[in-house]
Structure 1
């Protein structure tokens, strides 16, 4: 009987194989026993080539600094810290050896590190302790051969969107909530072309950013860039945060001024400058120089240009403060620049040109300030002229647009900074412009409809709202109906302070007002199923009105509670079911967003940004503004920091104004319109020059300290909505920013009375043009 022979276990292959005649297949040196069953193994990879030996050297960071500065700063607009320079010098000395300079090895390594840093991180500062830099160097180390980067290695095949631990050790692309320039995940879309093709509706690229969702960016004045705050904001912060609020405002305005052409120092030598001046080649001998207040001591009788905040001293006199001290300000002979085109009030950061006068006494100021106490220096500043800081266009701050700012002598300073959490201009701007050009039809209006003062307890308001909705409901028989991208309805939603004990304004009545609004919206199901409804509260809305009785609410303030708005949400959901039900073509459903005051609306990432605030700014400015004496006629009006003389850019001072004008105004109506034009231009110039939505002291407008950054207007938004019931309705374009005030939706409360008509503003996000419309 034949017996089967059990197969023996395969013999173990020695660890140190002797090379055979066929190394590609890894054949062993000893023959295979035919009677044995061997396990089939996958052939190993080719044996890597022997690396050439590089003799490491000790490379001092100071020796590498010129080459690193030329590569990182001049070519890639990056800044190296001392720790990062030390890490790069150590890496280059170890892996490039003595040929780092003669053979150009270090330059290629630094170039690859700079490119990888810009792909992996949105920060401008390269720090040696950063995990990103460590990951880049670790991956680069495995891709070098003989001091050179091997072509075709893992590093060269990777992109900025797939760096990870599994692909070579580099960190993955940071998420949106980190300090990065990327973050397309916030728009609910990955960085793939196939998924972009699925987003055919421009509304998919609209995003409402509430004040309590906006990232907090802190300006680092030592390193000249913005950092994302790592601390958690609170409604009960440390008292030191109040001081930091004003310091941040000052730093932002100060760095903005120093990059203006008027304040740029000449690049040629003093001798050459004096020669040109004598020859009459240039008009100005020196650039404007800002003097700190502390430096005025001992310089009596000299003229200086001061950047400071207007404040009122405890003795009741006007003062000027900066980060170094405070000085009493005498504006008896001062002139405002411009005289009738801007407001000047305590809490604003202004430029003052004047002469310093030191007290003859023992430090007691003639204006009531005591020298040396509380940072106040003795003497006073005799002001000659007072003006707002020059405004900076959005393209000068971020860049990316076709038009360039004539005042910006340097490249955009913060192109890699993500201010809103939707991506930076340098990282996503080109891609967003490409997507916008595909989705925004040049022949179709892509409007955002804006209406304010929606007093739901006033019957005429609901009538005006029906007119607005009816106007924007297209004909059902139209082949390609056009709906507005968004309809923004702003408070106050009650003409009286709700929940404050006022008769007829209790919680039950307040909810019934929103139920009435839901009934009106239910009449236009096609419209609300194709658009986005955005609601912004006012001072009379819950909950702050319950304990402030309609007074100035601390900004920012939260949305109207869902307790009062549930029925509106149900109406929108029902409209979506009726319009986008089963068996029908699917599209972008209608939605309703209850946001904070203020808030932001962005479209296509960083391409467009609209700042929104509901506040009576014009009335507060008129109540708190400073009154100047009438100037003499023979005084020269040419001031270097006046808005009309900034960089000789005449277009910057020209405002395109759109007001709701009657067909044939009477003489009285024409006088009111002239005042309205002046008010609109002054309000626009003041807010944009201050780069802040609330340039007032805390006593005039309370702020939540840890959320005050949401009121910054830096960089300048594409458009700004100032829902001010005390200002006329207008559309003004200044420094590339479209400023709009829709006024009251019911024209019966407007300056020019037209009973039974509705008024709103339509803003086209493609062209950046706004228009005041009136129907009825």
Structure 2
């Protein structure tokens, strides 16, 4: 009699009108065992293999072991997806169901007053549900001494009439009409007094970020702050264990079998300035290096600015120069046939490249300027800013913004006095703790409200590229690898290479 796993395998393939011989059945069992797929997830993974089998041209009703083995050895390009910000589905947080619900109706560039409010509520609720699930805030059902040290979140409406009591609040840092710094949640706001706070916890606290604030409520209706910190970050594994069935990217949920597949690939990232006379020479040197070492990257990402000034500010001569530089780049890439045939090229615009769209997310490079790139490079992709790469279970977010300078310009409360290395770490922690690429108010950085979710970092991606003109860095925080490749020109033509199988980046 067949064991439970065999019955699952037979059931799935029978659904597709396939029959399995002993060798094929044994091979599928061995796959589940090799990848350590638990019994409760076996059907989900076998379903994926069955679909891959059906994609083969010579798939037969009687399952062929040779074809099955080929289906298991998947083509990496079939699992490589480039996702624009405007293609990502919007998932709202539902209080009633305590889960995410997909938004109905079309998303628009103009948005609405309701969508602006909903965007900020979603930011708050996404973080709040992770905070309440954290061990420090979630009460255990078992009696324990630790319950006495449990931190209980309160709402601003619970402050009324309770002066001289201590509270822990969670909300957004913002300024009121009088210019006073406040903490705002879904029920109201309270003015903050930082005079007794020596130093906040690690991170950068900006207007628009969400913070946990502990303090004493005074008779003056202010909260005298004694501690402030960023919300705790939830790992990708924890989030996916709860919401793994939700297709946040719009490319289908990933099976556990896919997650266990490790393939060697390289993603190379640069920030070139095509107006700089040495840029093309540096790129040619990089391509030569690839050919000499017989290593062709699967994906190469080039981040702007590709233009020196916003195109609306450029005169006709500068626009013509911009066109010529992009055409020269197309000719340069096409001069390396092996790279041209093999490598996917992704162009991500910088802050100056799309002058007609200062709000985030930004449109791709204008199509009128990239005709030769499209005609000469078969695997070229013009991404939004930000955009994402999905490679099997890996999710890589690419964001081109001078984020460090913008964050430092908009610090509020007690400002850290730290060294450069600490600033890099604080920036990474702040962005990931906030689950958002731009934890600022929309008055500081305009965002298309219907597409605010495209800047969301929940669940945590596998890697985040914060492409910035600031110094290079790389670090891993809560399992998410974050790095800045730095400027290509003026830094000996260096770039960063990310290896998905190791989940690490390295400087080249």
Normalized against structure 2, the TM-score is what?
0.85
Q: CA deviation at 1:679?
A: 2.2
Distance 1:346 1:251 in 2: 18
Residue 429 of structure 1: aligned partner: 255
Residue 391 of structure 2: aligned partner: 603
1:735 aligns with 2:478: yes
The match for 2:382 among 575, 591, 594 is 594
Residue 485 of structure 1: aligned partner: 298
Residues 161/497 of structure 1: CA separation in 2 closer, same or farther (3 Å cut): farther
* Higher RCO by CA contacts (8 Å cutoff, separation 6 or greater): 2
SS in 1 for 2:255: helix
Residue 434 of structure 2: aligned partner: 690
Residue 251 of structure 1: aligned partner: 125
1:355 aligns with 2:98: no
Distance 1:200 1:157 in 2: 21
Q: CA deviation at 1:218?
A: 1.1
1:457 aligns with 2:318: no
Distance 1:693 1:160 in 2: 43
Residue 771 of structure 1: aligned partner: 506
Distance 1:700 1:204 in 2: 40
Residue 409 of structure 2: aligned partner: 623
1:718 aligns with 2:506: no
Distance 1:421 1:624 in 2: 33
Distance 1:516 1:332 in 2: 58
SS in 2 for 1:462: helix
Q: Is the 8 A contact 1:514 1:564 kept in 2?
A: yes
Residue 207 of structure 2: aligned partner: 346
Q: Is the 8 A contact 2:155 2:169 kept in 1?
A: yes
1:387 aligns with 2:229: yes
Q: Is the 8 A contact 1:560 1:594 kept in 2?
A: yes
Q: Is the 8 A contact 2:200 2:414 kept in 1?
A: no
Residues 630/192 of structure 1: CA separation in 2 closer, same or farther (3 Å cut): closer
Residues 268/190 of structure 1: CA separation in 2 closer, same or farther (3 Å cut): closer
Q: CA deviation at 1:482?
A: 3.4
Q: Is the 8 A contact 1:455 1:491 kept in 2?
A: yes
Distance 2:416 2:389 in 1: 42
Residues 351/251 of structure 1: CA separation in 2 closer, same or farther (3 Å cut): same
Distance 1:629 1:703 in 2: 25
| 1:104-160 deviation line (CA, Å, top 9, x unaligned) | xxxxxxxxxxxxxxxxxxxxxxxxxxxxxxxxxxxxxxxxxxxxxxxx9xx998649
Residue 167 of structure 2: aligned partner: 304
Distance 1:629 1:235 in 2: 35
Residues 233/163 of structure 1: CA separation in 2 closer, same or farther (3 Å cut): farther
SS in 1 for 2:122: helix
Q: Is the 8 A contact 1:349 1:690 kept in 2?
A: yes
Residue 221 of structure 1: aligned partner: 95
1:494 aligns with 2:357: no
SS in 2 for 1:728: coil
Residue 555 of structure 1: aligned partner: 360
The match for 1:419 among 248, 254, 271 is 248
Q: Is the 8 A contact 1:310 1:318 kept in 2?
A: yes
| 1:47-66 deviation line (CA, Å, top 9, x unaligned) | xxxxxxxxxxxxxxxxxxxx
The two structures, once aligned, show a CA RMSD in angstroms of 2.8
1:520 aligns with 2:332: yes
Q: Is the 8 A contact 1:335 1:386 kept in 2?
A: no
The match for 2:285 among 467, 470, 475 is 467
Q: CA deviation at 1:349?
A: 0.4
Normalized against structure 1, the TM-score is what?
0.56
Q: CA deviation at 1:193?
A: 6.6
Q: Is the 8 A contact 2:87 2:250 kept in 1?
A: no
Residues 296/392 of structure 1: CA separation in 2 closer, same or farther (3 Å cut): same
Q: Is the 8 A contact 1:357 1:381 kept in 2?
A: yes
Q: Is the 8 A contact 1:219 1:226 kept in 2?
A: yes
Distance 1:265 1:329 in 2: 28
Q: Is the 8 A contact 1:598 1:613 kept in 2?
A: yes
Q: CA deviation at 1:504?
A: 4.5
SS in 2 for 1:518: helix
Q: Is the 8 A contact 1:730 1:741 kept in 2?
A: yes
Q: Is the 8 A contact 1:611 1:719 kept in 2?
A: yes
Distance 2:416 2:206 in 1: 17
Distance 1:723 1:156 in 2: 45
User: How many residues are matched?
Assistant: 463
Q: CA deviation at 1:513?
A: 1.5
Equivalent residues in 2 for 1:618-697, closer than 5 Å? 618-628=404-414, 675-697=419-441
Unmatched 5+ stretches in structure 2? 1-6, 18-42, 57-67
Residues 414/571 of structure 1: CA separation in 2 closer, same or farther (3 Å cut): same
Residue 566 of structure 1: aligned partner: 371
Residue 318 of structure 2: aligned partner: 505
Unmatched 5+ stretches in structure 1? 1-151, 165-181, 360-378, 399-411, 476-480, 574-590, 632-673, 749-753
Q: Is the 8 A contact 1:496 1:502 kept in 2?
A: no
Distance 1:252 1:335 in 2: 29
Equivalent residues in 2 for 1:437-456, closer than 5 Å? 437=262, 440=263, 445-452=264-271, 454-456=272-274
1:236 aligns with 2:78: no
SS in 1 for 2:345: strand
SS in 1 for 2:286: helix
Q: CA deviation at 1:742?
A: 0.6
Distance 1:194 1:234 in 2: 36
Larger Rg: 1
1:285 aligns with 2:148: yes
The match for 2:494 among 739, 756, 759 is 759
Q: Is the 8 A contact 1:498 1:510 kept in 2?
A: no
Q: Is the 8 A contact 1:266 1:287 kept in 2?
A: no
Q: CA deviation at 1:202?
A: 2.2
| 1:650-681 deviation line (CA, Å, top 9, x unaligned) | xxxxxxxxxxxxxxxxxxxxxxxx94312211
Residue 640 of structure 1: aligned partner: none
SS in 1 for 2:211: strand
